[in-house]
Amino acid sequence: MDHFEYRDGQLYAENVKLADLARQVGTPCYVYSRATLERHWHAFDSAFSEMRHLVCYAVKSNANLGVLNLLARLGSGFDIVSVGELERVILAGGDPEKTIYSGVAKKEHEIARALEVGIRCINIESTAELERVNKVATRLNCVAPVSVRVNPDVDAKTHPYIATGLNQAKFGIQFDEALETYQLIQSLQHVSSEGIACHIGSQITEIGPFVDALEKVLTLLDDLSTQGIQIHELDLGGGLGIRYQDEQPPSPAEYAAAICKILKRHKWEVQINIEPGRAISGNAGILLSNVEYLKHNREKNFAIVDAGMNTLLRPALYQAWHEILPLQTAETRPAALYDVVGPICETGDVLGSDRKLAIAADDLIAIRSAGAYSAVMSSNYNTLGRAAEVIVDDDQWIVTRQHETINDMVAGESLLPD
């Protein structure tokens, strides 16, 4: 459930009329609902309350400092994939000791920084990386806490670009090599095995793949225990899907119930870490955009809006469907089928095709489910500034990222010397 709804024909975020916000802040602009973010985070936290657990929000889904700050205030942990994300967590008041570091290409300086600030765990994605972590930890004279991210070869039944748990993917260590990797950890002086990590993909809308992956991970846990290798934590990754159109994903409570049921049958006492991103932030955000022009050619009606694939890449990259709504319903306008397109000079710059909308030029629209993998994936293509980001809290709002200016965009560039 979210806090975006129509009242008297006007779309609201909590108690803020979005048309007022859009006119004051300018468009395009992302709007996040604090109450929705908090509600979604608590849904995961309370769903796992019967087990020792930590909800590590996946920063990559929405890395806005305001969003991270409000989650840090709830006591959230974080899942990061770069030192940049780590610095964001620290700037936002998050705790490195509740932060897990995944990602396939960690550089030496990134590993060093993570160890210096006391990262909870580094998830190892290859033996070469394990050796690098050991080398950096030796230099820093510390012991690096690590988990092996295993690739269980489970089909997440999602878009191929966001399925990570199959053997074809670059992620994790092949399941049949995991035991050997733990033995290697035992033989190295400056790494210690904390847990097992596993993330099989994103926008997963069925319980089955999560269950299959967990069952596989538990067989590894048994094997490790037989070998006398102690595991304290299981990191089950993120991946729970959300409703964009007519998907019916399990709720966090249903997901947790399935996981806990399996774990309770098991004799090992381990902490459960989960890394949800989209299920917390996705439906907590929308993108506001202005209709610049309506254009009609022989085949199509176009609504040309000021947000494009530079602002929201998901439709162009994954053929993702996002609901598009007018900010105010107007019965006086004729409805028609529109391709809602952006300003970018690419034919693929389409936010939604054949959408029935009753709109006119200069109307405002909202693109829903834009809290995850949206602002974070935006670019300056065509030298268009990134959109502002705003957090609504009841009847107030705060701009947590200003619109990007031309000076912001060219900072760091230079002319040639004379």
Would you say 152 or 326 has its CB closer to ligand LLP? 152
Closest C-alpha to 22, from 365, 293, 344: 365
- Say how many CA atoms lie within 13 Å of 122 toward its Cβ: 36
- 202 binds ligand LLP per the rule CB under 6 A: yes
- 198 binds ligand LLP per the rule CB under 6 A: no
- 203 binds ligand LLP per the rule CB under 6 A: yes
- 30 binds ligand LLP per the rule CB under 6 A: no
Cα gap 74→355, rounded to integer Å? 38
The catalytic residue among 29, 142, 260, 345 is 345
Q: Please, which of residues 287-316 interact with ligand LLP by CB under 6 A?
A: 314
Q: How far is the CB of 121 from ligand LLP (least distance, A)?
A: 12
**Binding region for ligand LLP (CB under 6 A) out of 175-183, 272-280, 359-367, 380-388:** 272-280
- 279 binds ligand LLP per the rule CB under 6 A: yes
Give the distance, in angstroms, between the CA of residue 119 and the centroid of all CA atoms in the same chain.
20
Binder to ligand LLP among 145, 195, 238, 308 (CB under 6 A)?
A: 238
CB 93 within 8 A of CB 72: yes
Cα gap 2→113, rounded to integer Å? 37
Cα gap 79→122, rounded to integer Å? 10
Contact pattern for ligand LLP over residues 100 through 119, marking x by CB under 6 A: --x-----------------
**Binding region for ligand LLP (CB under 6 A) out of 4-12, 132-140, 251-259, 275-283:** 275-283
**Binding region for ligand LLP (CB under 6 A) out of 53-61, 222-230, 296-304, 405-413:** 53-61
SS3 call for 106: coil
Binder to ligand LLP among 61, 64, 134, 289 (CB under 6 A)?
A: 61
Cα gap 354→357, rounded to integer Å? 9
Do the strands 121-124 and 144-151 form a parallel or antiparallel pair, or are they unpaired? parallel
Would you say 60 or 113 has its CB closer to ligand LLP? 60
DSSP secondary structure, 144-187, as one string? EEEEEEEE------S-GGGB-SSTTSSSSEEGGGHHHHHHHHHH
- 99 binds ligand LLP per the rule CB under 6 A: no
- 239 binds ligand LLP per the rule CB under 6 A: yes
Cα gap 312→318, rounded to integer Å? 11
Would you say 126 or 290 has its CB closer to ligand LLP? 126
> How far are the Cα atoms of 34, 288, 402 from residue 208, in angstroms, in the given order?
31, 36, 42
Tokens for 3, please give them. Answer: 């806090």
- 275 binds ligand LLP per the rule CB under 6 A: yes
Q: How far is the CB of 385 from ligand LLP (least distance, A)?
A: 21
Binder to ligand LLP among 4, 30, 48, 373 (CB under 6 A)?
A: 373
Extended strands (E) in 238-378: 271-274, 285-296, 301-305, 324-326, 336-341, 350-357, 364-367
Is there a catalytic annotation at residue 345? Answer: yes
Would you say 152 or 277 has its CB closer to ligand LLP? 277
Residues found near ligand LLP in the complex (CB under 6 A): 58, 60-61, 79, 102, 162, 199, 202-203, 237-240, 275-279, 314, 318, 372-373
Q: Which residues are catalytic?
A: 345
